[in-house]
Amino acid sequence: KEASFTNCRHEILNQLKPCDNFSLIKKRELEKDELRPLYMDFQATTPMDPRVLDAMLPYQVNYYGNPHSRTHAYGWESESAMETARKQQVADLIGADPREIIFTSGATESNNMAIKGVARFYQAKKRHVITTQTEHKCVLDSCRILESEGFSVTYLPVRTDGLLDLEASIRPDTSLVSVMTVNNEIGVKQPIKEIGKICRSKGVFFHTDAAQAIGKIPLNVSDWKIDLMSISGHKIYGPKGVGALYVRRRPRVRLEPLQNGGGQERGLRSGTVPTPLAVGLGAACSIAQQEMEYDHHRVSMLANRLVQKIMSEIPDVIMNGHPEQRYPGCVNLSFAYVEGESLLMALKDVALSSGSACTSASLEPSYVLRAIGADEDLAHSSIRFGIGRFTTEDEVDYTAEKCIQQVRRLREMSPLWEMVQEGIDLKSIKWTQH
């Protein structure tokens, strides 16, 4: 079984003494396929589907023309591939017109373009932007830049289950509302349809970051009245380094371009469109459309299996976020009386994360968990399990067992746990300084 290989790795690593060669040995072991950890971090990134790679390879090797070259066959064939990706694949997945899709370098660029572009275009009359506290860092940072330019930004708080109230904050000078569809840390699905209706009725543009949602839940930009949407390639089993932005044409949304140049992509995003990446994104979208039901069914089944297994064996485990309005593949659990970093280190042979990849370098607990009102200590002890298309039942079972084992071991060592077992209420303790 694959899991036994990772146990071997433990033994090998434990026997080695720390020395200069240690990092070299560890790196070599990580390169061998057998000794790599199980991948359970599908929200950070996803492996490329073999069908996507198969679609991309000819455009990396043989059909390498610039799609904007109008004078020869190399250009024509690249352009035709790019347009197929745009029309039959990306646009089809979200119910849009192909002229409304713009290829970018990823969801971060799409978010920047949408927020800064729309706000700056309409800045003469409208100087207010609304977003939420649980957005991705790129959205929050773009809003911070807008604030420094003189805009006023409202960061809406979210309820403990992650859903929010919007209507009261919309002002006559609001130009944009930005709410992400599925949160990358807690998996909560926002009521996009209702928000879209409110925004349309008040004449405010609605942007949603659908990087985690696209290809996993059915989306339609017309039904949900979305004006701008960000798409990321590497979250739907596509290549890294490509994304797209959906910009509505009827009623027209105007943007100030971030990147100026030769006028490609309707003048909104100049620069050569990377044909192999665009083809990869298109292939990933069309595969996601075909496989959506199968994948959703399977991911829900595996997530339930994981959560049931863990929660039935150990007490004091809390799932962060709404239990029903969520994408099942993103499970964020807080283990009380256990420190998150130590649990992650203990689960060395499973690739997990606590909080999103872009905030994992800092020592602060995740701002998303703080926004949903989780206790400081629970926020520190949260782990995010990501389940995707390629996860197997064996991997889920192994992760659950390892997790239960390590949580029990860490709790044995914890004086807080001892005190709780004796019936002491931790909140009533007066901690003294030495």
Which residues would be at the binding site for other proteins (CB under 8 A)? 2, 32-33, 39, 47, 50-51, 53-54, 57, 294, 389-392
DSSP of 403-432: HHHHHHHHHHT-HHHHHHHTT--GGG--PP
Min separation Cβ 50 and other proteins, Å: 4
Look up residue 46 and give its two tokens: 């996803």
Residue closer to other proteins by CB (options 51, 68) is 51
Residue closer to other proteins by CB (options 53, 314) is 53
* Residue 358 is a catalytic residue: yes
Residue closer to other proteins by CB (options 228, 287) is 287
Residue 426 sits at φ, ψ, to 5 deg, of: -60, -30
Q: Are 151 and 179 in contact (CB under 8 A)?
A: no
Min separation Cβ 184 and other proteins, Å: 21
Min separation Cβ 392 and other proteins, Å: 5
Residue of 75, 77, 76, 97 whose CA lies nearest to 87: 97
Min separation Cβ 295 and other proteins, Å: 10
Q: What is the DSSP letter of 175?
A: E
Q: What is the DSSP letter of 85?
A: I
Q: What is the DSSP letter of 314?
A: S
Out of 8, 199, 330, 358, the active site residue is 358
Residue closer to other proteins by CB (options 85, 253) is 85
Q: How far apart are CA 128 and CA 179, in angstroms?
A: 15
Min separation Cβ 2 and other proteins, Å: 5
Q: How far apart are CA 287 and CA 395, in angstroms?
A: 24
Residue closer to other proteins by CB (options 47, 98) is 47
Look up residue 78 and give its two tokens: 């690249």
Q: How far apart are CA 222 and CA 298, in angstroms?
A: 28
Q: How far apart are CA 54 and CA 283, in angstroms?
A: 9
Residues classed as catalytic: 358
